[in-house]
Amino acid sequence: MLKKSHVKLLKSETINYPTTDMMRNLLIAQVKIHGLELCLMTSHLESCKEHSQERMNQLRKVWEKMREAPANVTVIFGGDTNLRDHEVAKLGGLPSGVCDIWEFLGRPEHCKYTWDTKTNTNKKLCYVSRLRFDRVLLRAAKEGARVVPEHMDLIGLEKLDCGRFTSDHWGILCGFTIQT
């Protein structure tokens, strides 16, 4: 969702992943915020361990679209990637010019586990699982204003009145500064 008084939508696109079993896609919005053009992307990549190959195919498509964005535009991708670190490594690591904001900020422990069955009781599992399934990636513009990650926190940590959390994943809230 975009607040029209702050953000102007320039263009949007939905790219369906051709081999998804779970009807997944990539959403792309070209926006202008206070005169600064950004490309915002989100996706819910294929879930579960057994869908690793499809998830890596989808991540390759995300990276491709991040690369294809105009050089003068900052790209921010964030979503429920369901990624395991070994999958990113298997693909050769992040592409040149793309950073993982959690890593950029020094790997803050307080927001490492975005899927945490120790704390989040929405999933009833017979084991505890703590993973960093959700990611926010940044590809800086080659010229013009710089968008610099300032902080990252987890959100959705409080239960609703019904006694459940809003999701089985924690949300990620990132703050940025604009350097002109």
Q: Which residues are catalytic?
A: 80
Closest listed residue to residue 94, CA positions, set 135, 130, 49, 127 = 135
Scanning the structure block, which residue is given the tokens 């990650």? 149
How many C-beta atoms lie closer than 10 Å to residue 152's C-beta? 18
- For residue 9, list its beta bridge partners: 31
Cα 17 from Cα 142, distance rounded (Å)? 28
Concatenate the DSSP letters of all residues of 142-166 into one string. SSSSEEEEEEEEEE--SPPTTSS-S
Question: How far, in Å, are 54, 61, 131, 142 from residue 38 at the CA level?
Answer: 28, 19, 29, 12
